[in-house]
Structure 1
Amino acid sequence: MEHGKKMIACRNCDTLFQRPILTGRGDVAGCPRCGSTLYSSAARRINITSALTLAALITFLIAQACPILELVADGITSQTTLTGAIMVLWHENVQFVAALVFGLTILFPLTELVALLYVLIPIRAGYIPPGFNRVLRTIQRVRPWEMIEVFMLAVLVAMVKMLSLARVIPEIAFFAFGALTIMLAILVKFDLQALWELADRLSTDEPNCPTGGEPRTEALQARQPTAATAVIAQSSAANPKPISQYVTALRTGLVACNACAQLDPYKRSVKNQHCSRCEAVLHRRHPDSLRRTWALLIAAGLLYIPANLLPVMHTATLTDTQDNTIISGVIYFWTSGEWPLAVIVFVASIVVPILKISVLVLLLITARRRSSWRLRERTTLYRIIQSIGRWSMLDVFVVTLTVALVRFQPFAEVTAGPGVIAFGSVVILTLLAAKQFDPRLVWDAAES
């Protein structure tokens, strides 16, 4: 539908806006109602993004092929690659954690980089590649799950932790992962929605609109409902309009595609309505959002207790055997004088999971009661837990590296404990719970 290309609905509060014109680099169209980002101009740099994606893929392959760290103790040397660390976990019968680390640090990042190149290079050349819709939706699904930056922080924490056992030497992959972290942080700024629009122009041969340019904003059709105009760089936050003045897609009978943001008229008679642009299944709200989020959250809460009580590592030396829990790791860093690392591990492994669970419980209860209490603040909390939730994987990655490197048999050896399985499960369940929750339910109370 033509109006679906001229308007956009906020993903977090469902408010309708005219699609804004962003003229400068780094401009961001923000929702004045809930403060979320609607649209970014960073995606105009197709050439730069294509080159950066290719460089990131090469760097990724180097990081996977070379050792990360090397330990030297009493003439004994130990080193590992990321793949080697995963294999050690697999052979120690913690296959769940091995599969988890493989997916978050190898499979998902590699999938995103290869898929991005697959769509960027043809789009830059002026044509749409086969399977464009499926590939772009795949990128959107895997992007939240790639955690190279968390793994890089885990490498730094593991280095400090193992300095008391041996001399630690950074290898080639250490620097490759550092460079890859920066590249992926830049690529995350690339707004995938612009690729859908570029594909639209290529398919319709829209004149005077070069590939990589910014979309033009036209006047809305007279038959369409009035929508507020989005502002640039969140400037409306200082003077927001009353909530009652905003028009939502739900109220006007439109439904926004979760994949490409296309707006289509909602058809109640169609059981599985598909997006007119990308053919994804359309939902006015995530199906059974509250029930699914509650189920995942309860499971995470139950596993959080053994995750903190059970040991995540077993350390065996010639003179002593010790079990290490998450709390004992924090205490170790604090008592050894590494208080910045103690704070980082405490926040990532203790504070963040508790914060995620608490915030989601608050959102679920208030959404269920259709409360209109502090709508904007609750949406901000939701965005915060979405952005910080991934950092809870820090301890899992630290255990992975420590187990793979400290293998100075018979002098010292570290093996994974059952606590790391429980803790990894807690992290994944809370991330899934946050994805299942539909923040638009928070704002439905204002509509009613």
Structure 2
Amino acid sequence: MCAVTVASLITFCLAQAFPVVQLQANGMTSEATLFGAVRSLWTGDMRLVAMMVFCSSILFPLIELVACAYVLIPLCVGKRPPHFNGIVRVVQHVRPWGMVEVFMLGVLVTIVKMVSIAQVIPGTGLFAFAALTVMLGILAATDLGGLWEAVDKTGLRRTGGVRWARQSCARAAPDELSPEQNTGSTAHITAKQAGLIACHTCGLLQTRIGHQPHQCCLRCKSALHERRPDSVMRTCSLLLAAALAYIPANLLPIMHASSLGRSEDDTILSGVAYFWTSGDWPLAAIIFIASVLVPMLKLAVLTLQTVAAIRGSTWQPLERARLHRVVERVGRWSMLDVFVVALTVTLVHFGSFAVITAGPGALAFGAVVILTMLASHQFDPRLIWDNTHAERRVVRDDE
């Protein structure tokens, strides 16, 4: 993991330093770098969109890589870095917001789109981003909770007295449980029912102290909550804002093109129709799924989760938990259109011959992506299982 992190840092610098793609048309040449795309959006009065692209493709991946290197290099030589807990928490917070792989897909879509109007030359930065995408995928597959376990096993922790909960809920005998917990040999006992609480940061399972209102994790010192405070209320608020932003995101133009005195506005759906009528139906399907279908499914699934949590529903808890994990994993891919707009604005800038600028739909669409991702992170999936135990007890009593 340390070797991959160092290699990723070097590749990240190369990807930023060299052009991703070059465009040649009528003797004029333009090139696009990632930072150049951010600058084009900023100077084009789309500063919020520029900040979205900058944070998701430059700032957050860089913070993750630097923080991982800061932690892993000392651990490789048997030392515990200062502020270990806080740095690993930073990595966990910024990791979901780094979208280099989505940017890479946006580059490929932009290349296919530009081939019909100009000569496209892949740059050194394109190959660097391809390698960086692979390495970041390897790092994303690594469980950060293992860092705390590695520190514990090597005896590098400064704080002592870390206690693990030894109770095995899955194997607890019925006669060892309280009357509220004794629901039959086939019932599942949750951590809350067993008096345990898990840390969301490091994954440590520990005993819940009832008389301590603000309990902290014994290992990483993060705040512990049986259920995330105001989870449903925050999720509903973010969902409502995302639903309101989804309407202008599809109706307003996402790009404005000017060529030889003619102007044309493109929306998300018109872009899908363009690729479909041009014969590039695989790209049309990708854009439709990422930019239209995925946001709709996220809104529908999160609405289902919040309504079920408010009503205390016990309907299909396992399937709902799987849906929540799917929503968290696919949410970032909706940023595809925003990256395509950023690259296209940077590449097609040939004075009076052809100019493309970002439209207000890009801002609305970026807001939908961010709001739905925040909503999925605010929803506490443990709420799905709170009432399943009560339903089993009622069925047993009836029998």
Partner Cα distance (2:327, 2:20) in 1: 30
Aligned partner (choices 121, 139, 153) of residue 169 of structure 1: 121
Q: Deviations over 1:143-194 (max 9, x none)?
A: 1111010000000000111112211100000010011111111111111111
Partner Cα distance (1:99, 1:272) in 2: 35
* Contact 2:102-2:332 within 8 A present in 1 as well: yes
Aligned partner (choices 162, 170, 195) of residue 227 of structure 1: 170
3-state DSSP of counterpart to 2:386: helix
Does 2:193 match 1:251? Answer: yes
3-state DSSP of counterpart to 2:45: coil
User: 1:204: Cα distance to partner?
Assistant: 6.2
CA pair 220-384 structure 1, distance change in 2 beyond 3 A: closer
Structure 1 equivalent of residue 305 of structure 2 = 363
Structure 1 equivalent of residue 23 of structure 2 = 71
3-state DSSP of counterpart to 2:155: helix
Structure 2 equivalent of residue 85 of structure 1 = 37
User: 1:220: Cα distance to partner?
Assistant: 7.8
* Contact 1:128-1:202 within 8 A present in 2 as well: no
Structure 2 equivalent of residue 233 of structure 1 = none
Q: Deviations over 1:91-145 (max 9, x none)?
A: 1111111011111000111111111111111112112100000000011001111
Query: After superposition, where does 1:437-448 map in structure 2 within 5 Å?
Result: 437-448=379-390
Q: Deviations over 1:33-64 (max 9, x none)?
A: xxxxxxxxxxxxxxxx1111111110011001
CA pair 243-296 structure 1, distance change in 2 beyond 3 A: farther
Query: After superposition, where does 1:13-32 map in structure 2 within 5 Å?
Result: none
**4+ runs of 1 displaced by more than 3 Å?**
224-229
Identity of aligned residues (%): 53
Structure 2 equivalent of residue 144 of structure 1 = 96
Structure 2 equivalent of residue 263 of structure 1 = 205
Does 2:107 match 1:155? Answer: yes
- 2:29 maps to amino acid: T
3-state DSSP of counterpart to 1:378: helix
Query: After superposition, where does 1:92-107 map in structure 2 within 5 Å?
Result: 92-107=44-59
Partner Cα distance (1:327, 1:150) in 2: 19
Structure 2 equivalent of residue 383 of structure 1 = 325
- 1:179 maps to amino acid: A
- 2:273 maps to amino acid: I
Does 2:253 match 1:308? Answer: no
Structure 2 equivalent of residue 272 of structure 1 = 214
* Contact 1:127-1:202 within 8 A present in 2 as well: no
Partner Cα distance (2:124, 2:8) in 1: 15
Structure 2 equivalent of residue 394 of structure 1 = 336
User: 1:271: Cα distance to partner?
Assistant: 3.3
CA pair 157-228 structure 1, distance change in 2 beyond 3 A: farther
Partner Cα distance (1:55, 1:243) in 2: 51
Q: Deviations over 1:379-424 (max 9, x none)?
A: 1111111111110000000000000110011100000100000000
- 1:354 maps to amino acid: M
- 2:138 maps to amino acid: I
- Could you tell me which runs of 5 or more consecutive residues in structure 2 were left unpaired when the two chains were aligned: 158-163, 173-183, 391-399
My pick for the range that moved more, 269-278 or 98-107, is: 269-278
Aligned partner (choices 409, 420, 425) of residue 362 of structure 2: 420
Does 2:247 match 1:295? Answer: no
- 1:227 maps to amino acid: A
Partner Cα distance (1:268, 1:115) in 2: 35
* Contact 2:169-2:190 within 8 A present in 1 as well: no
User: 1:244: Cα distance to partner?
Assistant: 5.0
Does 2:103 match 1:134? Answer: no
User: 1:268: Cα distance to partner?
Assistant: 3.5
My pick for the range that moved more, 167-176 or 263-272, is: 263-272
Partner Cα distance (2:212, 2:104) in 1: 47
* Contact 1:96-1:421 within 8 A present in 2 as well: yes
- 1:201 maps to amino acid: K
* Contact 1:228-1:246 within 8 A present in 2 as well: no
Partner Cα distance (1:334, 1:63) in 2: 31
The TM-score with structure 2 as length reference comes to 0.91
- Over the aligned positions, Cα root-mean-square deviation in angstroms equals 1.7
3-state DSSP of counterpart to 1:337: coil
Structure 2 equivalent of residue 349 of structure 1 = 291
CA pair 226-332 structure 1, distance change in 2 beyond 3 A: closer
Structure 2 equivalent of residue 436 of structure 1 = 378
Q: Deviations over 1:211-264 (max 9, x none)?
A: xxxxxxxx985xx354349xxxxxxxxxxxx99532221012221111001123
- 2:224 maps to amino acid: L
User: 1:198: Cα distance to partner?
Assistant: 1.2
3-state DSSP of counterpart to 2:293: helix
Between Structure 1 and Structure 2, the one with more helix by share is 2
CA pair 220-369 structure 1, distance change in 2 beyond 3 A: closer
Structure 1 equivalent of residue 135 of structure 2 = 183
Structure 2 equivalent of residue 234 of structure 1 = none
3-state DSSP of counterpart to 2:303: helix
The TM-score with structure 1 as length reference comes to 0.81
- 2:277 maps to amino acid: T
* Contact 1:225-1:252 within 8 A present in 2 as well: no
User: 1:265: Cα distance to partner?
Assistant: 2.3
